[in-house]
Amino acid sequence: MEKRYFNPKIELLPREELGALQLKKLKKIINKVYKRVPHYRKKFEEAGVKPSHLKTLEDIRHFPFTTKEDLFVDYPFGLLAEPLEKVVRLHTSSGTTGKPKALFFSRKDVMAQAELIARSLVMSGATSGDILQNSMTYGLFTGALVMHYGAELLGMLVIPAGPGNTERQIELMRTFGTTCIHMTPSYALYVASLIQEKGLKPGKDLKLKRAYLGAEPYTEETRRKIEEMLKVDVFNCYGLSEMGGPGVGFECPVKEGLHLWEDAFLVEIVNPENGEPVKPGEVGELVLTSLNREAMPLIRYRTRDLTRFIPEPCSCGRTHVRIARILGRADDMFIVRGVNIFPQQIEGVLMGIKGVAQNYQIILEGYDEMTVKVEIDRDFFDGRIERLLKLKEEITEKLRQAIQVRPKVELVEPGTLPVSEGKAKRVIDKRTL
Amino acid sequence: MEAVPVLSIFAENKPGKLEKITEVLAKEGINILGFSIVSVKDFGVIKFLVDKPEKAYQKFKERGFTVAKVPCLGIELEDRPGGLYEVVKLISSKEINIESALVYVAETRKKAYFVFEVEDLDSAWEKLKGEGANFLRASDFIKE
Ligand SMILES: [Zn+2]
């Protein structure tokens, strides 16, 4: 594999130097928010910390977290660390209720995020000769615009298609010879199925090579399915508006986790319950500090996204840390017998087992008893009870390995469990303490 | 090979489940010739030998049941003490493992059959076909 880097000096920076660079930037940004953002000063004071307490990177632990709620203090401009004249861009991120989070970026912020995208695209193998069809939503959402800037910085031809109108999407792909697409995984599945329906042959009628899929969590199975249907390499990209949108984390061709650009972010993974760092490799909530942000720096921001570190160095040569694909939301987590578990872990196991249909349900009751109800696949049933018993045993054992708790598994008929609509119906907690 | 189709239905252990299943057969005028129920705590498998297996299979499918057709072998039981013993002894002497079984008593009440399911039907047939047993034929009971 030919190795190319957009910014080799930074991407290959030895870890000690990377750490030193982070500490330098961290000190600067902690000082800045303490001086310029009253809300941060107040929080630091309440926690009894001062910028001068920050001597090593580990000292960041003594500084308070920033949560979604903090973004609504002195809304909308309260967390600005620069005068409004320096702000060139507003993005918002809608919450489930009420006002959207308001995120502000200076010109430097916009270009810094574009560089992260450009690095990521080169990492995936893209060059200025590629044609990117950007099918994320343009507008207040960061997804499309931030990718757009990054791809232009690299010199790709960008087709600002936006989402929807799938007939037109496919027409654009055919007319202009789109080589890369950027969209959500669920939309990619839809586009791929329509391409199949039309009898078009990816690889022949279409020139697609890569798909950058993000903005919603998806599984390895889904990746493989899309790769096969569209004959592309799928790269998982992670971002959140609070941290500047896409480009925060991106997969390299090794496709074992996403590199997080550590010259731009200080990365922590904590136990969502108590905020303490998790053991290396253990699942927890991703916490990010923006090290480059000028207009609106965020310190120890609780992303609510669950992941784990992949501590081994990556064979692509980049020294920046890797995280596993996002496994779910911290809010979905539940605890059984002292073990933190989230539905996506269970979903991941079930999706890899033949004979299991789409739906499942987790029931917690009694003295920390966990029952997983699993729909069997209609076509798997051949009339033999032995086969069902084996399936049940396989599910139980694979779940035990994945979550360290041996659940009770119940096989149920297909179509009898509520269809997936997020957490609400997936986990039924009947425990009373 | 003289294999006969047995319908096998996956059923959660819920009150009224067996009622719903047998209702399908009753409504469609399908005659149950033999049945067995195996239950393991949370679920079970119910098996039927019926006179219209294809129709029954389609109707169960249409109504969303999880159903499969399992080819089985049927051997006639002699109408005397030890009749079942003789058949089971024959099967086990060939080291064939019976996975499930039901008994079918023909309408005339003169003949009964031991209908059983094995893991490897072809090899079981090879081992048993030359043993002088009377095998149940699909044409003996199927009316469709
Ligand atoms: Zn890598």
pLDDT of amino acid A298: 98
- Among A382, A415, A416, the residue with its CB nearest the CB of B68 is A382
Chain A residues close to B70, C-beta within 8 Å: 382-384
Bridge partner residues of A288 (DSSP):
A267, A301
Q: What is the widest separation between alpha-carbon atoms in chain A?
A: 72
Give the Cα separation of B114 and B105 in Å (integer): 9
Computed from CA positions of residues A170, A176, A179, A182, in that sequence, does the dihedral angle turn out positive or negative?
Answer: negative
Chain A residues close to B11, C-beta within 8 Å: 413
What is the arrangement of strands in the sheet containing A322-323, beginning at the earlier edge strand? A157-159, A131-134, A180-183, A210-214, A233-240, A245-251, A258-260, A322-323, A309-310
How far away, in angstroms, is A311 Cα from ligand 1 center? 12
Mutation site for B-interface testing, chosen from A372, A381, A388, A410 by largest number of B Cβ within 10 Å: A381
Q: Does A385 touch chain B (CB under 8 A)?
A: yes
More confident residue, B76 or B108: B76
Give the Cα separation of A86 and A99 in Å (integer): 24
Type of residue at A257: G
pLDDT of amino acid A424: 45
CATH number for region A334-429: 3.30.300.30
pLDDT of amino acid A335: 86
pLDDT band at B80 (very low <50, low <70, confident <90, very high): confident
What is the arrangement of strands in the sheet containing A301-307, beginning at the earlier edge strand? A265-270, A284-290, A301-307, A328-329
How far away, in angstroms, is A231 Cα from ligand 1 center? 22
**Complex ipTM > 0.90:** no
Q: What are phi and psi of A409, to 5 degrees?
A: -110, 130
Q: Shortest Cα distance from B132 to chain A (angstroms)?
A: 28
Q: Are A281 and A297 a contacting pair, CB within 8 Å?
A: no
The terminus-to-terminus CA distance of chain A in angstroms comes to 56
Type of residue at A72: F
Domains of chain B: 4-70 (3.30.2130.10), 71-140 (3.30.70.260)
Q: Which residue of A has its CA nearest to B14?
A: A412
Q: Does B8 touch chain A (CB under 8 A)?
A: yes
CA distances, B105 to each of A51, B3, B50, B116 (Å): 89, 17, 12, 14
Q: Are A227 and A233 a contacting pair, CB within 8 Å?
A: yes
pLDDT of amino acid A346: 87
Give the Cα separation of A263 and A11 in Å (integer): 9
Q: Does A378 touch chain B (CB under 8 A)?
A: yes
* DSSP conformational letter for A74: T
Q: Is the pTM of this model over 0.80?
A: no
Q: What is the pLDDT along chain A (433 residues), one digit of tens a residue?
A: 567 999 999 999 999 999 999 999 999 999 999 999 999 999 999 999 999 999 999 999 999 999 999 999 999 999 999 999 999 999 998 765 678 999 999 999 999 999 999 999 999 999 999 999 999 999 999 999 999 999 999 999 999 999 989 999 999 999 999 999 999 988 998 899 899 999 999 989 999 999 999 988 788 878 998 999 999 999 999 999 999 999 999 999 999 999 999 999 999 999 988 999 998 888 899 999 999 999 999 999 999 999 999 999 999 999 999 999 988 888 888 888 888 888 878 887 888 899 998 788 999 998 889 999 999 998 899 999 889 999 999 999 999 998 889 999 999 998 888 765 444 467 888 887 6
Q: Domain limits of chain A?
A: 1-329, 334-429
Q: Which helix (H) or strand (E) holds A309?
A: strand A309-310
Q: Shortest Cα distance from A423 to chain B (angstroms)?
A: 24
Please state which of the four CATH numbers 3.30.1330.10, 3.40.640.10, 3.40.50.2000, 3.40.50.12780 is assigned to the domain occupying A1-329. 3.40.50.12780
- Token pair belonging to A172: 């654009």
pLDDT of amino acid A210: 98
pLDDT of amino acid B13: 85
- Among B66, B69, B117, the residue with its CB nearest the CB of A413 is B66
- With 0-12 / 13-18 / 19 or more C-beta atoms within 10 angstroms meaning exposed / middle / buried, residue B122 is exposed
